[in-house]
Amino acid sequence: MTVTSSRPTAAGSGAPRRTHRWIDDWRPEDEGFWAATGARVARRNLVWSIFAEHLGFSVWMIWSVSSALLAAVGFAFSAQQLFFLVAIPSLVGALLRLPYTFAVPAFGGRNWTVFSALALLVPTAGYAVAVTDTSTPYWVFCVIAAFAGLGGGNFASSMTNINFFYPAARKGTALGLNAAGGNLGVALIQLLLPVMVGGAGIFGLVGASSDGIHLQRAAYVYAALCLVAAGTAYFLMDNLSTATSSPREQLAALRSRHTWIMAFIYVGTFGSFMGYSSAMPLLIKLNFWRQPVPGVAGIGIDFAYYAFLGALVGSLTRPLGGWLADRLGGARVTLGAFVAMIVGTLGVLLTLTRLEPLPAAPTGAALAAIKADPSAFSFKPEVVAAVDANAAVFPWFLLAFLFVFAATGIGNGSAYKMIPALFRRDAEIATAPATVERHDALVAAGRQSSAALGIIGAVGALGGFLIPVSFNSPWVTTPLEATTAAFVAFTAFYVVCAIVTAVVYLRRPRAHAVVLADARI
């Protein structure tokens, strides 16, 4: 391996373009090279890529849990406004994934990691200012939430970068670990933010703050961590000169049917993970919890103790999906994940049929009266009865939901394994073994698959926007009805995803088929 201090602008130009920590000789498919130096360098870059991506996910999802606490600090936003607020970062993050993918070949993986980590200071600073002033208008929150979508773009650049570092046989596990580290950022922000801001305790180890909720504390913590991520990337990560992607290769990825079929499948796996993670705190609060103002003791299930579990389970099972795909084939594992998601969503629907619609929370003059004298407020018997009945169903609701999260994680890992394998298989079918054409085709396939990763990730992340919006559609009268209708639609969508996976990637191969069922794709 050769680490040089400069990189040429293009073949034959000879003029230096960038400096510092560029690796010119990178041959991950060469077993000798990999054993001697490649594995160590790739592992170091993977570790710090995970750290930076983890923080990106945390900032990306900071509104998923903050939205459920805004009422406690004096903001009077409707449920529809809150669901839209948590959906905005997912939409922006999805749109940014494509340019973030192409940024790695253009600027270098290490360089872009530094920039993308520093860019997260914008949404964290805006968050710190907005949550301290209850007169901040809703549209300002929407703008800040949109900037939080920068963290969603980090996933695409991080996955593209790591895809260049690892050989084909280890991509599934490496990409699974990288993605899982990022996905864990969702779980940790949902677990730790209520504790950091004083809104909740944590399993008896830490108690809720006695002086109220201070949401800005979370912004200070994550701003500092983003600076740390930028520093570690600058000093400990590398750029690969071989990580290039020409416009022709990018267009080839756009023209490939695999790109769009896998994007559709990825909406079902990753889109579901992000959408459910974003919406889970509000789902629990609206259907299982009642607390009109902070001075009144709440009744029911407090989201702060459970909302993080879904993202945690989905994050931990993602590398399992990559590992299984390396051994059993990505298509088989992905199909199994969709079958599990169908079973899980049917289980969620069954629990929803046993819930009681909760009476609407006080608003307007009634809410103002409660705020004026919280000690005089008491819940109506019908509210207590409905909340208690739903609390009895909650363990089954949570169990079914966690089963869905586990399946999305496995599907995420296996689907990402499929993407480079599909392009590699096409190259192998089109060329003869041990030829220059085969070598060149495999190199091009690696670059095309990296471009495809960004496209697929961008389309798939749109699920993170659509799901929260679906849970409180304006044409549905109650949150429970909206939740039930949404899960019916999701179940039907997973059936379609399973059929597409089976028909396209697991049918018996024909002559010259681009995908073979036994090719570990």
Pairing of strands 239-240, 16-23: parallel
pLDDT at 369: 80
Q: Say what percent of the chain tops pLDDT 70.
A: 88
Lowest-confidence range among 31-45, 116-130, 169-183? 169-183
Instruction: Give the pLDDT score at 513.
Output: 39
Taking the C-alpha atoms of residue 331 and residue 324, their distance in angstroms, rounded to an integer, is 11
Residue 204 in this model has a pLDDT that exceeds 60: no
CB-facing half-sphere around the CA of 20: CA atoms within 13 A: 8
Q: What is the model's pLDDT at position 165? A: 92
CA 32 to CA 320: how far, in whole Å?
27
Using an 8 Å Cβ cutoff, are 297 and 83 in contact? no
Please give the residue range of the domain that contains residue 313.
24-31+41-361+376-505
In a domain, 176, yes or no: yes
Q: Please provide the DSSP assignment of 86-140 as one string.
A: HHHHHHHHHHHHHHHHHHHHHH-HHHHHHHHHHHTHHHHHHHHHHTT-TT--HHH
What pLDDT sits at residue 462?
Answer: 86
pLDDT digit string, tens, across residues 151-174: 988 988 898 899 889 987 787 778
Q: Which residue has the tokens 């990559």?
A: 322
89 or 21: which leads in pLDDT? 89
Task: Answer whether 102's CB lies under 8 Å from 120's CB.
Answer: no
Domains contained in the chain, number = 1
Give the model's pLDDT for residue 475: 47
Distance between CA atoms of 253 and 262, rounded to whole angstroms?
A: 12
* Any domain includes 515: no
Q: In the prediction, which pLDDT does 111 show?
A: 94
The predicted pLDDT at position 520 comes to 55
Q: Is residue 133 part of a domain?
A: yes
Considering the chain, what is the average pLDDT of its residues?
83
* Mean pLDDT, residues 326-354: 93
Query: Is the Cβ–Cβ distance between 284 and 303 less than 8 Å?
Result: yes
With a cut of 50, say whether residue 23 has pLDDT above it: yes
Q: Give the per-residue pLDDT at 212.
A: 67
| Residue 332 CA to its chain's centroid (Å) | 23
* 261 domain residue, yes or no: yes
Summarised one tens digit per residue, pLDDT across range 253-306 is: 788 888 999 999 999 999 999 899 888 888 888 889 887 776 677 888 888 888
**pLDDT tens per residue, range 81-113:** 888 898 899 899 988 988 888 888 889 999 999
Looking at the DSSP assignment, which residues form a beta bridge with residue 7? 18
Say if residue 467's pLDDT is above 70: yes
The token pair that represents 396 in the structure block: 């089954």
Is the pLDDT at 11 greater than 70? The verdict is no
Say if CB 220 and CB 196 are below 8 A apart.
no
The answer to whether position 15 is within a domain reads: no
Q: What is the CATH number of the domain that holds 456?
A: 1.20.1250.20
Compute CA distances 378 → 76, 372, 373, 382, 389, whole Å.
21, 14, 11, 12, 18
Question: For the stretch 10-31, what's the b/e string if a residue is b when 16 or more beta carbons lie within 10 angstroms of its beta carbon?
Answer: eeeeeeeebeebbbeebebeee
Inter-residue contact 330 to 256 (CB < 8 Å)? no
- Residue for token pair 């870059």: 45
Q: Has residue 369 been placed in a domain?
A: no
- Which residue is it, tokens 């009266």? 369
Could you read off the pLDDT of 111-131 as tens digits, one per residue?
999 999 999 999 999 999 999
Please indicate, yes or no, if residue 177 is contained in any of the structural domains. Answer: yes
Q: pLDDT value at position 150?
A: 94
- Of 40-49, 250-259, 301-310, 338-347, the range with the lowest mean pLDDT is 250-259
| Res. 344: pLDDT tops 90 | yes
386: Cβ contacts below 8 Å, ≥ 6 apart: 356, 357, 358, 359
> Pairing mode, if any, of strands 289-290 and 299-300?
antiparallel
CA distances in angstroms from 269 to 9, 20, 494, 497, listed in the order given: 39, 38, 9, 9
Q: Please say if the pLDDT value at position 450 is more than 90.
A: no
In 3D space, the residue among 198, 215, 305, 226 whose CA is nearest the CA of residue 58 turns out to be 226
The confidence score (pLDDT) of residue 199 equals 62
Which range of 295-299, 379-383, 403-407, 422-426 scores highest in mean pLDDT? It is 403-407
- Token look-up 């296996």 returns 414
Checking if the pLDDT of 4 tops 50, the result is no
C-alpha separations of 2 from 22, 29, 34, 204, 238 in Å: 9, 16, 13, 53, 12
17-21, 215-219, 351-355: which range is least confident on average?
17-21
Residue 157 belongs to some domain of the structure: yes
**Band of the pLDDT at 71, cuts 50, 70, 90?**
confident
